[in-house]
Structure 1
């Protein structure tokens, strides 16, 4: 994360969900979350395009997208096959699939965190704040 405001890529196929997440983050009491620039993508293909062109600190990655599983993108990022030329963004899986094996699959694919749907606005903000804070601490070292 740079000294500038953090950048979050929200990968979510449902327009209403994208709008709600952006509204929740914009109203957060935590400045790093509230001041973050939120980019969005509705498919894996558009997420890959955004990542190739944009510097992103955190990805909120829906697991079920029209063109495949978010796990594919998480795996590509973990393996370094998404050529961004920048440090790998932190990836948080966001999914309604809450079985233990689903969580384990997300972590094995390279996700750094997991957020169950449906979630409370406070849980979303806390998750984003936690991962931005971790990333900020890593950048200082």
Structure 2
């Protein structure tokens, strides 16, 4: 990991899921994905705190969290209210709610992408690579 490594905020309440995502990203064939620094946030409150403290390039945002729906954070990011004046990161909704209206709601709330659970490792790597800033 270099100083210019991309930063990903993984907002996911399940510890096993966080561990698996980190393992998949660390083994990715895409260098930018493999070299990314992954920051954990198990709740919306923790995510807001992390976003207030440091710049991230991408938020992988679970929709169903113990302290609320991820769409509320997506809306706050779109409005620029949680990043402390830093640039808005890309946001990918990660959810088992895969109905067309769920996808539409995520995109309307400000998400840049959508990843259905369960997903294949290759799909996770592809969506992360697509939404990381160019290096």
TM-score w.r.t. length of structure 2 = 0.96
1:27-64 deviation per Cα after TM superposition (whole angstroms, max 9, x unaligned): 00110000000001000000000000011000000000
Q: CA RMSD in A?
A: 1.1
Q: Does 1:31 align with 2:44?
A: no
8 Å CA contact 2:55–2:83 kept in 1: the answer is: no
Structure with the largest fraction of helix: 1
1 CA distance for matches of 2:59 and 2:82? Answer: 14
C-alpha deviation, 1:136, in angstroms: 2.1
1 CA distance for matches of 2:100 and 2:18? Answer: 26
C-alpha deviation, 1:82, in angstroms: 1.3
1:59-105 deviation per Cα after TM superposition (whole angstroms, max 9, x unaligned): 00000000000000000110112142210000000000000000000
Q: Secondary structure at the match of 1:136?
A: coil
Unaligned runs of 5+ in 2: none
1:82-140 deviation per Cα after TM superposition (whole angstroms, max 9, x unaligned): 142210000000000000000000000000000000000000000000111xx327xxx
Unaligned runs of 5+ in 1: none
Q: Counterpart of 2:121?
A: 121
Q: Counterpart of 1:136?
A: 134
Which runs of 4 or more aligned residues in structure 1 lie more than 4 Å from their structure 2 counterparts after TM superposition? Answer: none
